[in-house]
Structure 1
Amino acid sequence: MTDEWPELDLRAAYEVQDETLRRRLARGEHLVGVKLGLTSRAKQQRMNIDSPLVAWLTDAMVLPAGEPVPQARLIHPRVEPELVFVMRERLAGPGITAARALAAVERVHAGAEVIDSRYRDFRFTLPDVVADNASSAAFAVGGRGVRPEDLDLALEAVLVEVDGRVVDSATGAAVQGHPGEALALAANDLARRGLAIEAGQLVLTGGMTDAVAAPPGARIAFHFSNLGSIHLSGGA
């Protein structure tokens, strides 16, 4: 978008994102949470982006267990493993620390996000991807939830398996040094827009590894140390 509109800045990009959410809600979708994008320094460097971003999740993005990646409504889907927080309390910045953020969390789950950029070759600037709701397409959440105090989130590891072969791995430390830092960042970022993370909402804290392509026929699994596994199919 910035190729044709170089004046697009982050303020305007978030206005576009919020207007897109308003239209989703108007057609019957329900807000279920927020997500962070580009929380991994490695992903920031690969995408030539210098900071994380926040975007919206609705119930229309939920990928039920066993359902394939919805190829018919996507362009070039990719999937990545995430740690997902379910909030017990409302979390409103500014000034939220990682410790305060984690105290508001009910449970931690394994997660998988399907990202799908509107931009050719996933090439974009930070305002571009913010306006595109951080490439949000779909997400799946594992069934096993663990209290955050019962888990070393920085050391929680994941193995990425594609068609039976392990292709990547990471720990929670890849997400802003600690997933709690990502949660605090989301609350403080939303506060600048007069918004907060509400009790009961989900927070996807950002890809732990780089995303892998999810074409038809692909078999993808994310195996977590303590949170179980999530299996995804690229579909037919």
Structure 2
Amino acid sequence: MGANLKQYAAQLAEAEFSGTGVLPITSDNTGLTIEEAYQIQLENIKRKVESGQKIVGKKIGLTSLAMQRLLGVDEPDYGHLLDSMVVENGGAVSIEKVLQPKVEAEIAFVLKKELKGPNVTALDVIQATDYVVPALEIVDSRIKDWKIKLPDTIADNASSGFYVLGGKPARLSEIDLELIGMVLTKNGEVANTGVGAAALGNPINCVAWLANRLADFDISLKKGEVILSGSLSAAVEAQAGDSFTARFAHIGQVSVHF
């Protein structure tokens, strides 16, 4: 890993620690590749693991057309979930721990066996999934004013912040994720709605994409990991005092407060 990539990783780490956003990496390095951006991400994940944090899953970002349009990108990305990111259902996130948070509603998969690409299919995902539950992801960016291109958000652990799992566990045989509906409310008012098909046609397809993308780095999705499969609608900005609840057909609801 080149010295400049390590420097970018250090800048993002310092931004997270200080709570002060930095300029986009792509404004300094216009030729930053997707693969280099993932190297930056993995460098900071390695630092966090060495400090005692544990990887508990992965997140898939930018799977919906709405999110791709919002951030001006045209393909999904992924990041790592750490045990330090977990918030209990109905719990609170201190506004002091985030820079510029947004909330997304999505489906979380919990795996009962390992998935490793390449050539993982939707059927493989179904067979490897223990259950799914509703989830809220609090996305955040260490890049000032969310002025990001795809390499910026990838380097920044796919703009991860925190996540919340809720509802009731459901087997994939019990529900149709393509048709499942979602309503996200902010302070009691409808902020947006979504459907499972918004995420690459079906959230199952998102998990298959992730397993195959991770094969490029010899990384697998492990038994017991949580996989956030991608937002079903555009992210909603959050400020101190805000409350969010996502209600999903058949699998219940999940909420968080700021």
TM more than 0.5: yes
Q: Matched residue of 2:38: which SS? A: helix
| Equivalent position of 2:22 in the other structure | none
Contact kept in structure 2, 1:78 and 1:212, CA below 8 Å:
yes
Counterpart AA for 1:93: G
Aligned match of 2:172: 148
Unaligned runs of 5+ in 1: none
- Aligned mates of 1:209, 1:197 — CA distance in 2: 25
Query: Deviations 1:37-85 (Å, cap 9, x if unpaired)?
Result: 0000121122110100111001000012332122112111111101000
SS in 2 for 1:180: helix
- Tell me which of 18, 23, 43 is aligned to 2:67: 43
Tell me what 1:167 maps to: 191
Q: Runs in 1 of length 4+ with deviation above 3 angstroms?
A: none
State TM-score, norm by structure 1. 0.96
CA distance in structure 2 between the partners assigned to 1:136 and 1:9 by the alignment: 20
- Alignment match, 2:130: 106
Q: Paired residue for 1:220? A: 244
Matched to 2:171, the amino acid is R
- Give the deviation of 1:143 after TM superposition: 4.5
Paired residue for 2:52? 28
Structure 2 alignment gaps of length 5 or more: 1-24
1:204 pairs, out of 228, 231, 234, with 228
Other structure's SS at 2:96 match: helix
Partner secondary structure for residue 50 of structure 1: coil
Name the CA distance, whole Å, in 2 between partners of 1:170 and 1:118: 27
User: Does residue 15 of structure 1 match 2:39?
Assistant: yes
Contact persistence 1:69–1:214 (CA under 8 A) = no
Contact (CA 8 Å) 1:89, 1:104: kept in 2 or not?
A: yes
In 2, the alpha carbon distance for the partners of 1:46 and 1:136 equals: 16
Instruction: Output the CA distance in 2 between the equivalents of 1:157 and 1:121.
Output: 31
Work out the percentage of aligned pairs sharing the same amino acid: 34
Q: Which of 160, 178, 182 pairs up with 1:136?
A: 160
Aligned equivalents of 1:105 and 1:152: distance in 2? 14
Q: How many positions carry a matched residue from both structures? A: 234
Q: Aligned-pair RMSD on alpha carbons? A: 1.0
Higher helix share: 2
Quote the offset at 1:231 in angstroms. Answer: 1.7
Mean alpha-carbon deviation: is it higher for 198-207 or for 1-10? 1-10
- Kept in 1: contact 2:184–2:190 (CA 8 A): yes
Kindly provide the amino acid, as one letter, of the partner of residue 27 in structure 1.
S
